Amino acid sequence: MDAGAGDRQIEYSSEEKPIQLCTEDEKRQRIQALLDFAAREGFPVEKLDIPSREERNAR
């Protein structure tokens, strides 16, 4: 029997590497940074009031 077969570290090539997902908070920060940048550069940007996952679940 192959003891510890499930414990092996999986080696990925750079093309096969799984996408690292960001947290909801990081996603909100990135969206806000993009909107702030767009507004500074003169693009018409509407204020987005995006509720967090916790706020959506509380409804």
Predicted structure pTM score: 0.43
In a domain, 45, yes or no: yes
Phi, psi of 8 (to 5 degrees): -65, 145
Query: Cβ-count burial of 28 within 10 angstroms (0-12 exposed, 13-18 middle, 19+ buried)?
Result: middle
Residues 6+ apart with CB under 8 A from 42: none
When computed from its CA atoms, the radius of gyration of the chain, rounded to whole angstroms, is 20
In a domain, 34, yes or no: yes
In a domain, 36, yes or no: yes
In a domain, 39, yes or no: yes
Q: How many domains does the chain have?
A: 1
CA distance 29 to 11: 31
In a domain, 13, yes or no: no
Residue range 8-33: mean pLDDT, rounded = 80
Check residues 32 and 56 and name the one with the higher pLDDT. 32
Q: What is the pLDDT of residue 57?
A: 74
